Chains A and B, each alone.
Chain A
């Protein structure tokens, strides 16, 4: 919400130490506000707003390696229809979202419930769950590459007694995406756990106690007290992790280090594909067109989620 409380009425007989000639107080306040806002607003305009608009412009051009622009109309968009690798990437991102969002939700929610009430060593446990999120995605990628080295890696050795010692988790197209999902969950569960913990703090203990006195078991207390009160938090987590899964750094840094999009493009996310088009193949115009497509998908998705849930309020009838 934008509205704030109005400033309290000024005392009648106030002494103004520095009255500036020809300027009302209101005017001075506005000028000061614009000055305070100028650096960030200008920065956001140049480095966020203008690039957004620019993407829609550049999408109509073909840009060669020397930076020469030639107008091509809708050619870049027509190119998309026959671009099999693009469709493969869209499938990868869609599969990733469908797997990652619910798993991360359930895992981090379970962790939050687990560390909700005090026990000995709780702060170390909370920090431990959050720690993977502190390390960079590049390091995370390298760590798991090492743990998952074929045959000699720690995981292969751990799984050898089960007869799974020869499985190549990052080298098999059908397994690589799942591995990437699991690593992402490991990386992000601590962060989402903290979000849930913050939401759980707002669930009044008295309500739960009252339900318990009324004879509600722990499942019923969860289902009818905690869960409904946690809906805004859950909504935030779902929207946030969906956006993150499609366009977050986890969709680029991690796959870039872990698999470079392979094997057989099984982990080539849309943002990785756009990067390749722009900086490996120098197709800036096409990459810009792809950018506009991702923006459109994002706007439609968040719009739908807000529409379905009425802004996360889940008003009950």
Chain B
């Protein structure tokens, strides 16, 4: 049997693609004087990770990020699924205009509206607060759009049955639509969590208070403070990256499961 060329090429390229990440992981486990040496560490050490976790308030940064990312994800999924339900399932005057209005905000990214958004947040007294980190990050049209697409494909009969049982719109949304949207909510929650855990620009703009620092600010702050202590900077970077990789690996399986279930139906 001949060995095919392209699969081997794919494997080689995949290794090259993840090499920088693996390199950093290994380097973070090397003693300070070894950081720039090639190959495996002469001795494996957890000192760098330990230092970063104990001497720098890295746990605090992680808790802040977790609070922000989890809150934004939960609230955003709730709001977006409500809006998407109305747009997909209910008939009301102005639906077209509201839908186009929401979709047009898809073009706007944070770096574009950063300055005026900062001014709005300042007016609302959101500077240097958890609310300032959380509230403006909730609203994004992408989730609404994806959920709406999903809801358009849920058979109407399921809702009709609830209607005949005398359920109001809230019950129909809460007990029929929401449980049916578990797969799409799961994939969106992976996306939202990653985006918010990785957020840098908005926290950088809205917070000064060191107690409110999120993980990405903490890690980038290492640059200035520990300019050439690369072993420590890399340890911090690894700590910031681990949750994202874990969530991705776990979420990926969920995505596959979701696809399987829809396939079996």
Residues of A participating in the B interface, judged by any CB pair closer than 8 Å: 2, 4, 6-8, 14-18, 26, 28-30, 32-34, 36-37, 39-41, 43-44, 46-52, 54-55, 58, 67, 111, 114-115, 119-122, 124-125, 127-132, 134-139, 141-147, 149, 152-154, 157, 186, 189-190, 243-244, 247-249, 251-253, 256-257, 271, 274-275, 278-279, 284, 287-288, 291, 294-295, 298, 302
Contacts and interface: CB of A to CB of B under 8 A. Distances in A.
A285 to B, nearest CB: 10
A115 B120 contact: no
A40 B84 CA distance: 10
Nearest to B198: A136
A46 B113 contact: no
A29 B13 CA distance: 54
Contact of B20 (A129, A130, A144, A247): A144
Contact of B220 (A149, A189, A257): A257
Nearest to A147: B20
Q: Summarize B's interface: helix, strand, loop or mixed.
A: helix
Contacts of A136: 197-198, 200, 216, 240-241, 244
Given A249-B201, A288-B116, A29 B38 contact: no
A226 to B, nearest CB: 16
A274 B201 CA distance: 13
Interface in B138-180: 138-139, 141, 144, 152, 156, 160, 164-166, 168-170, 173
Among B86, B136, B248, chain A packs the most CB atoms within 10 A around the CB of B86
16 contacts: A28-B169, A40-B79, A44-B102, A51-B120, A52-B108, A67-B122, A135-B198, A135-B244, A138-B237, A153-B36, A154-B23, A249-B110, A249-B111, A288-B115, A291-B115, A294-B112
B36 A142 contact: no
A186 B17 contact: yes
A121 B6 CA distance: 12
Contacts of B105: 44, 48-49
Contacts of A157: 38
Contacts, number: 264
B62 to A, nearest CB: 13
Nearest to B102: A44
A271 to B, nearest CB: 4
Given A4-B88, A33-B86, A142-B237, A131 B113 contact: no
A18 B171 CA distance: 13
A43 B116 contact: no
Contacts of B138: 43
B131 interface: no
B90 A298 contact: no
A22 to B, nearest CB: 16
A131 B248 contact: yes
B237 A291 contact: no
The 5 A-B residue pairs whose C-beta atoms are closest, nearest first, are A17-B166, A136-B198, A128-B14, A51-B116, A43-B139
B115 A134 contact: no
A295 B107 CA distance: 10
A275 B17 CA distance: 31
Contacts of A41: 83, 98, 101-102
Contacts of A244: 109
